[in-house]
């Protein structure tokens, strides 16, 4: 039988931030494409190869992503500069960290190629969708969003935690959070979750 006496022992309010995940490398691209899009690794790599080799956009063949077989998280200075400018112009200066976000490569990483990213963030998915198949567009969008998000400020939440005593035997805890500032989630909200 449940006790009828409940007492709030404590309430804690905090601000919590959540940073974007690092730019894609081969293994993380395959994991995200599997989780988000339901693609097998072989399908992901075939589509990525197509995007890397290029698509004809207005009479010109353009490679849309960097090389897709890499375990590096390195990003060229030119790509960082272009992305930071794009984010500031599209979302405002509050979405740009003071310095570019740099992600450490694993100790065994081969650094011959950059991380997997769009060749230009100015080729937004909605601007080139007419040139891509449905699945190419879905994978390109995932790569584009993750790359842009990795160079944005963290999302900020207001969190509330309450400890509740229920009678003499039970201690309950309730937690909640509310988004205060979207940061990178303005581009990449929920993209890692299964759909």
Please give the pLDDT value at position 26.
96
Active-site annotation holder among 52, 67, 131, 157: 67
pTM value is 0.86
Helices 77-91, 134-149: axis angle to 10 degrees equals 90
Share of the chain above pLDDT 70, in %: 91
- 86 classed as catalytic: no
> Is residue 119 pLDDT above 90, yes or no?
yes
SS3 157: strand
Confidence of residue 40 (pLDDT cuts 50, 70, 90): very high
Please give the pLDDT value at position 109.
56
Helix (H) or strand (E) holding 11: strand 6-18
Nearest to 50 by CA among 144, 148, 135, 146: 135
> Is residue 14 pLDDT above 50, yes or no?
yes
Average pLDDT over the chain, rounded to whole? 90
> Is residue 195 pLDDT above 50, yes or no?
no
Q: Can you tell me the mean pLDDT for 41-60? A: 95
Please give the pLDDT value at position 92.
97
CB burial string 89-119: b at 16+ within 10 A, e below: eebeeebbeeeebeeebeeeeeeebbbbbbe
CB 95 within 8 A of CB 88: yes
């Amino acid at each position: 039988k449940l006790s009828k006496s409940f007492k709030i022992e404590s309430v804690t309010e905090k601000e919590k931030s959540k940073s974007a995940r690092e730019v894609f490398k081969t293994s993380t691209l395959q994991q995200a494409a599997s989780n988000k899009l339901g693609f097998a690794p072989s399908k992901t790599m075939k589509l990525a190869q197509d995007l890397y080799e290029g698509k004809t956009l207005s009479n010109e063949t353009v490679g849309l992503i960097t090389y897709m077989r890499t375990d590096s998280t390195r990003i060229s200075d030119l790509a960082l500069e272009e992305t930071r400018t794009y984010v500031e112009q599209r979302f405002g200066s509050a979405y740009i960290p003071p310095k570019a976000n740099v992600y450490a490569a694993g100790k065994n990483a081969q650094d011959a190629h950059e991380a997997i990213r769009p060749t230009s963030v100015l080729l937004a998915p909605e601007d080139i969708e007419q040139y891509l198949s449905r699945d190419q567009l879905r994978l390109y969008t995932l790569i584009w969003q993750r790359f842009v998000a990795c160079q944005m400020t963290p999302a900020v939440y207001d969190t509330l935690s309450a400890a509740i005593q229920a009678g003499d035997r039970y201690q309950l805890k309730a937690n909640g959070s509310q988004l205060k500032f979207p940061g990178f989630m303005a581009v990449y909200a929920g993209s890692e979750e299964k759909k």
